[in-house]
Amino acid sequence: MGLCGTKLGCGEGGCGACTVMISKYDPFQKKILHHTANACLFPICALHHVAVTTVEGIGNTKSRLHPAQERIAKSHGSQCGFCTPGIVMSMYTLLRNKPKPKMEDIEDAFQGNLCRCTGYRPILEGYRTFAVDSNCCGKAANGTGCCHSKGENSMNGGCCGGKANGPGCCMNEKENVTMMSSSLFDSSEFQPLDPTQEPIFPPELMTQRNKEQKQVCFKGERVMWIQPTTLQELVALKSQYPNAKLVVGNTEVGIEMRLKNMLYPVILAPAWIPEMNAVQQTETGITFGAACTLSSVEEVLRKAVAELPSYKTEIFQAALEQLRWFAGPQIRNVAALGGNIMTASPISDLNPVLMASGSKLTLISMEGKRTVMMDEKFFTGYRKTIVKPEEVLLSVEIPYSKEGEYFSAFKQAYRREDDIAIVTCGMRVLFQHGTSRVQEVKLSYGGMAPTTILALKTCRELAGRDWNEKLLQDACRLLAGEMDLSPSAPGGMVEFRRTLTLSFFFKFYLTVLQKLSKDQNGPNNLCEPVPPNYISATELFHKDPIASTQLFQEVPRGQLVEDTVGQPLVHLSAAKQACGEAVYCDDIPHYENELYLTLVTSTQAHAKILSIDASEAQSVPGFVCFVSAKDVPGSNITGIANDETVFAEDVVTCVGHIIGAVIADTQEHSRRAAKAVKIKYEELKPIVTIQEAIEQQSFIKPIKRIKKGDVNKGFEESDHILEGEMHIGGQEHFYLETHCTLAVPKGEDGEMELFVSTQNLMKTQEFTASALGVPSNRIVVRVKRMGGGFGGKETRNTILTTVVAVAAFKTGRPVRCMLDRDEDMLISGGRHPFLGRYKVGFMKNGKIKSLEVSYYSNGGNSADLSHGVMDRALLHLDNSYNIPNVSSMGFICKTNLSSNTAFRGFGGPQGMMIAECWMSDLARKCGLPPEEVRKINLYHEGDLTHFNQKLEGFTLRRCWDECLSSSNYHARKKLIEEFNKQNRWKKRGMCVIPTKFGISFTVPFLNQAGALVHVYTDGSVLLTHGGTEMGQGLHTKMIQVASRSLGIPTSKIYISETSTNTVPNTSPTAASVSADINGMAVHNACQTILKRLEPIKQSNLKGSWEDWIKTAYENCISLSATGFYRIPDVGYNFETNKGKPFHYFSYGVACSEVEIDCLTGDHKNIRTDIVMDVGTSLNPAIDIGQIEGAFVQGIGLFTMEELRYSPEGNLYTRGPGMYKIPAFGDIPTEFYVSLLRDCPNSKAIYSSKAVGEPPLFLSASVFYAIKDAIYSAREDSGVTEPFRLDSPATPERIRNACVDTFTKMCPSAEPGTFKPWSVRA
């Protein structure tokens, strides 16, 4: 159909980019239902009698945008745009079901959607305008942080956001003050939502409702799909095909078939069978048909909880709490209750609830029905149950709870929204009537064995006991013994998982104690009261609606209306992106004879290749050929350091190393054929971790050093010396659009056109030409836009592009490949993991004297950009602090992992993170407030850095003071101390962190850019420059620059794409300098045009732009010009520690407050205030979007995202199922961003500053706020010594650091005595 709006982001229902609306007439409820679903999992066969609405179906730029599209675009909620259609469809479906939603409904609707660019805030802000409670930020009216309590001017742009009329508030300053605004968009311009104008449900589907349903059968090449309409048909089919899979939502089988290479020749779809969708209230509980979706179960249980007495709904309430965090709405809307049980996942969220509650299952077969209890005998092994192959699960009865019966369910995951459990549980206790004596107790756990299990021994021991402190101690002792795990257990995190079993029971114990006290509040109440400081441990997770303010400097009075520089102009592709019209690489229409390529990669981290056998692949339908090293017409050597190959020849050096590729007529056929290629290896010992590389001295030379002053003398003069180390984990880019290339051979002279998702056209062109053995002038690389890049497409796209080009050369036909998410994560590398070892000398007042530091990065199997990353880490080892004596070394470890590469910040965040580690340790050692120690060490204007560059225009101290003031730091710090005194198991922490980020490529010759301006005779301008658009708004800014330079409206200027045949030899769009260098090049080209037009303008001063252009053409004046710019005077020598590596610095400060759950390791981001110096902003909306997006990406880096490898070097985390980036619910509840005013930067275009990378490190404020909170928890346990907290601060690390009686009952095994399931790279 050619509808490309719905995007494929992961293929496993984990990112929401493919969200569509499914509409059907439900014969059971007798009404039309609309719900979201993941198109990547929803089978076409299941669409019989169903209507599908994609983003194209609700609005477009040619006629009109739907309000859901308009508002996300105009509120700056679309950056790269790849996730936008899915988010739009989630919002649209909510509006179809609830035209007047609450803010909570809106936030819940996005639980299954991810965005990697925006930081989510602008999306929520734009869609808040639909909410019935949108007039307020959602805080208690006029309470702290309420939008109504900040004075009238805060939301209309009058006030700086400080205390109205307080010291330093702009309201107190003179009239000619620079005005600050907080209005990034005007909601009064939005068209209203009119539910009567929505498309109607297709009448032809309505006419089907009264017709008798018939069995449907679809036959594919390898799979047969049968959709029976009666229970009898289903039972007969299951008898005929006992191994057939029953599929309702395809949320498990779809993933198994795609990612686990499973094949199910027969699939039965029972979704339309009345008995399997029935819901019935009985005397003992509610019976659900096994095909009932989780969303419908949720609806029924919610109604029951509202209508029935609370003592009857204890189990229902616990089930609802689990369902609240069960996947995303797109999954819950289609996944069936029966599927959840029969999948028999050991980490199922619901199975422990069903097991502990004693739910009954009804099974049916040709032999009749039988009822079984969901007890300890139900699961017989990993993903196995007692259900016979010919039996079908018909229904599930969830019982009512009785008086004196209490039930709780708990789940801990990496991320709260849409995440699989690490440990999950259901806990039930029944008391003897009117007493606190246990009659029966059931404790069921998931994540502690290959199946969901009951703690039978503990349950037996607790029966007949009183619910008191002694019972608690015994229960924990028993559980610690019974819920044991091998230190090598799959899934790892053994100590954490064991501790969670006790923590959950403790929470259950307190919750029950609380309820007992309430229910037995008569004179005979023998219950122990819950200590007041323990009560917060029983509270269920709650998050307030987001509150935010964004402050920026208004343009000067008198600036021309058509001059948009400094205005919050909407991203010029936003509307197209919101409608699904924006064209990405894989959206390019297919060529008539096009082929598809799938890579064949190594399954070993280090091995000799003994043989490659593609004979089985040749028998797959549509197979064309297999390509490998022998098919490369030019050089097989490639890579930035010429230390890589297009195809591996004799040896593979990482899992995912490209060995060959299969080319076939379709994607499906090429995938199948690639899986059929057989490779034999002789295994060699791999090096996986930094530690292993250090032991074996496996380094990529040279080793870099920076030295300043006399370190030993500095140590001698110091009052204290601290030594320590910190490990910072890597990070996956997780751009929503994976690597993609389309290669089109032109048929003569070796010409080839490449459409690529890349940040680096020059290297893509150069490497392809080398592989094909042709000069670069035969290769044209074209990029319209990318669905995100973040550095991941700076060099690593070339490993795919060269392979696709070789295949196109060999076949003479166009060849396309877009990597699946799991392939992309496996082969393309990510942010470098770092180990920092430091020794720091300082005085009693916290002033630093001397620093000795060694950095080790995990470079992977090739150099790529690792030297540049290490250079920047060493140049940022000071963060923002003046260190008189420095000695530093940087080692790049060569390992058998996919080569790590550029990632936003490019080594800077790792270098600064280790600085903040020793800074926080140092403050604690001195017994001084960390913010005082940080401030005393900050640089001043004119200081020299450790690499001897003078700091000019140093605004950091202004940012610092403004951040402390606007965040109300000191008052809130006292409130946090009070909170921590009153709460034993919840703790809060706060931290303020500065950043100083150097702007320039550290390789001097890359600091250049070109531009090309064509003016056509109608006055329209076609602009091309060397930068690529990946969501960061570069094209929008360049049009703003050209508009001001030429003095014409932006509507007359257009950028089509970036290509090697318009601007040659482009530097990669990276290092945050693209707006600086390309902006200057654009300005230069425009000045050339204006100079030529000057005589014509002088002769016709009243003429229009169009008149001047027409006259110039008629006078044979060239209306085309190139522009060029290079950054002057940059270059640095590590040997002599002389030179100037950076053109200037960007500065910022963030203050963050968090709350941790000491029992589970969960944390909540309560509030963040950021003050950022971006010079005079070219576009405040884009700049604030970059700050928020970078900050949230940093929250991922420092608190959530963890790459996990086997000891053999195999990557486990290959998709959103196991690798968690921040979701909507992870951003700070209060999120305030302010651009520093009156700080023009003379060194960049129109006084602006770089903004892409610098803000990312500010999220370290969240990490150190967590560490602050952990210190408070440890103090309550009587532990005061310093502790090491590595990054990311995952729930596991937080919980294990909060040492208490429970952690002591679950000691970790001695390292070296077992083989761990995963290692830290």
Q: Rounded to 10 degrees, what is the CA torsion of 1257, 1259, 1262, 1268?
A: 20
Structure tokens at 366: 């040709």
Q: DSSP E strands: which ranges in 195-265? A: 216-219, 224-227, 245-246
Q: Length of the chain in residues, anyone?
A: 1321
Q: Any alpha helices (H) in 132-250, and if so which ranges?
A: 203-206, 231-240
Closest CA to 858 of 684, 763, 731: 731
Q: Which two tokens stand for residue 685?
A: 């010992």
Instruction: Please tell me what DSSP assigns to residue 1136.
Output: T
Cβ–Cβ < 8 Å for 103, 134: yes
Query: 464-468, long-range: CB within 8 Å, 24+ apart, which pairs?
Result: 464/437, 464/438, 464/439, 465/437, 465/438, 466/436, 466/437, 466/438, 466/526, 467/429, 467/431, 467/436, 467/437, 467/438, 467/509, 467/512, 467/513, 467/516, 467/527, 468/436, 468/528
Contact 802, 638 (CB under 8 A): yes
Displacement of CA 278 from its chain's centroid (Å): 38
Residue 1234 CA from chain centroid, whole number: 24
3-state secondary structure 503-524: HHHHHHHHHHHHHHHHHCCCCC
Rg over alpha carbons for the chain, rounded to the nearest Å, is 31
**Ordered alpha helix ranges (H), 746-845:** 761-772, 797-811, 821-827
User: Where would I find the beta strands (DSSP E) of 1043-1198?
Assistant: 1053-1054, 1058-1059, 1120-1126, 1131-1133, 1138-1140, 1144-1157, 1163-1173
Contact 1076, 1250 (CB under 8 A): yes
CA–CA distances in Å: residue 318 to residues 401, 406, 1111: 11, 10, 77
H and E: helices and strands count for the chain: 35, 48
Distances (CA, A) of 911 to 145, 698, 728, 854: 34, 21, 10, 10
Residue whose pair of structure tokens reads 């590729």 in the numeric block: 661
* Token pair listed for 728: 């910072």
11: left (phi over 0), alpha (psi -120 to 50) or beta: left
Q: Residues 1106, 1253, 1281, 1310: which is the catalytic one?
A: 1253
Please give the C-alpha separations between residue 510 and each of 274, 430, 514, in angstroms, as whole numbers: 43, 15, 6
Q: Give CA 1168 to chain center in angstroms.
A: 19
DSSP reduced 3-state for 1001: coil
**How far is the C-alpha of 13 from the C-alpha of 1148, rounded, in Å?**
37
**Sheet of 547-553, strands arranged across:** 180-181, 547-553, 1230-1235, 1163-1173, 1144-1157, 986-999
Q: How far apart are CA 1109 and CA 579, in angstroms?
A: 35
Cα–Cα distance for residue pair 750/893, rounded to 1 Å: 39
Residues forming a β-bridge with 1232:
549, 1169
221 flagged as catalytic: no
For 646, phi then psi, to 5°, come to -65, -50
One-character DSSP codes across 123-137: HHHHHGGGSTTTTS-
Contacts 24+ apart (CB under 8 A), 485-490: 485/448, 486/1314, 487/1308, 487/1309, 487/1313, 487/1314, 487/1316, 488/1314, 488/1315, 488/1316, 488/1317, 489/1317, 490/1317
**What are the residue numbers of the active site?**
1253
